[in-house]
Structure 1
Amino acid sequence: MGAFLPTLLLAQQELKRYDRAKYADVVYTKLGFGEVNQQLLTSKQAEKLGRRIRQIQKDYGTVIVFASLVPKEANDWKNGNLGGLPAYYLGEDPRAARNHVMILFSEEDGRNWIRYGRDNEADFTPYTGELNQLFTSKYRKPNAYRPIHRLLKYIALIFDRLDNERKNNLLHPQLTVKEWIGLARAEMDITGDYATATTHLQRAVALDSANAETLMLLGYAYLEQQDWEAAATAFRTAWSLDANFETAVGYLTLHYLRHDNETVKKWEARVQQFTADFSEKIHNVAHYPSPVHFIGNATDRAFQELFQQEIRQSKSEGIPEADVHP
């Protein structure tokens, strides 16, 4: 499917299997214990620690992640082969990437590795040694609760030592255009919350009104909310800045959903100028319903119908290939 696939589509599909929580105005994967609550803690212990984690996240805008590593994973981490693990747990939420405390530890001997977000790293690095000592090599599964509880208490204490301005900066980071776009893509990909995505994109537009990607995505967000005029305005501006395939698809979808058949033909021709396998792309979207970064329910439905039209027309013209994709 080429251009339809966002870079992190597979990771995002994986994230869909987990519960979601509200964090810094973003609905995202529920982060907390990783596998710990399933393998090391009783349900009562996990719930008590969960409450503590939720309070820290609320008070300081941070994400707390505990991940227990099996021996092979621990060896990979020691050898520097699990560099993508933080991204696996944190996803692409820029706020989580900025302000997090991640404790990875070996199930075998309790050895731990602590990582921080780029915004809170300076605040926490001086205390890394003390945090390490709280999770000692004497760790064993039956006693997992106590070291984790001590760690959470100390993490909260470190945040408490920060002045009010520093706390506020961590809670309310000033995001870049790229980060607002990233949040919007996460909403469109993972949660389908197009209203929240619209808010993120509007903030990106306020920072840079000439960013074609922002306006293209804004067009899709409005399209999914059936705000046709706003979608048309966003696509028109995006097209004037960068006449690309994704924006052409957005225009095509918009006019199709508005039943503007004459304009549909015009934009269908423009989309075909960008790709020699337009029919194949329509077929893929129609038959493989995994959402992608700029295609939501409305676009998916329109493409399914367009594909069926393509098949019917091919059959009426006696083209043998029309039976290839029933």
Structure 2
Amino acid sequence: MDTIESMKTFLQVNESGSFTKAAERLETSSANVSRAISALEQHLSTRLLHRTTRRIALTEAGQRYLLRCEQILANVEEAEAEARDAQMNPVGRLRLHAMPALANKYLVKAVSAYRELYPAVSFDITLANRIPELIEEGIDVSIIMAPQLPDSSLIAKVIGQTYSILCASPAYLAEHGMPTNPADLEQHQGIKMASSVLPLDYWELTSAIGDASVDIKNSPFQVNVGSTVKQAIMHGMGIGMIPIFSVVDELASGSLIRVLPDYRGTLFNVYALYPSRAYLDAKTSSWVDFLSLHLPDELARDSERLTE
């Protein structure tokens, strides 16, 4: 028995004053209405209606049950309206995961601009250099950076591209010299970024004159957060591979120097991950659309600054 539908039938019988009129309003038969009321009474082990050949009337138990049904069905209708509205209008709390480097450079600014358009949406952001378990962790959207993604049931939308470059501090290069080719890098201190989405033990380099792979297994310094890689580079601990957007300001000021400028590191896709396309609520879809519109331009501007 569908209790909610049975409640609706019971209310309609009371409002109509007869099974026949209730059946007409519900677009069903009188027999179906009668069976629904009988099933409800049997389920409750209580008589709700007095029936005669001329009229029906509520029992005392039926009067009390009617009041509860009206309250319950009003709450159900309100909940359904809220759910439908969530599909149409961005509202509520968006649980967002992002990689720290992306969040610090772009996403906080994007959240601020997005909330000017949709102030009814609030954000709960988790930062970590990994691909999260969205459903298990209760995350609506994950913004990650990876060369490619493992097979999964998640929806993955590419919302931008960027790449990494090699950098070092002026002090480190003054002491150890500037590498002139990828083979020279194996004589230098390589700072290793530990990440579940990147190979840990080597750098893949690409250029117009050819590709190279550099072994960094014996790195004296390894960390899983890009901002700390950057700090290690700036403190002269070695050469590091880091996304261009993280260091464009330091390269412009001269506090960092690009190493092997003819080469770039891994090309990253920036992905928005979410559990399903079906019944995607408005806050999630509008956030992904907003980033898709604005993030590629932001990434492109930082890449262009590198060649100015």
Q: TM-score range by the shorter chain?
A: under 0.3
Q: TM-score, normalised by structure 2?
A: 0.26
Q: Say which structure is richer in strand.
A: 2
Tell which has more relative contact order, 1 or 2 (C-alpha 8 A, sep 6+): 2
TM-score by length of 1: 0.25
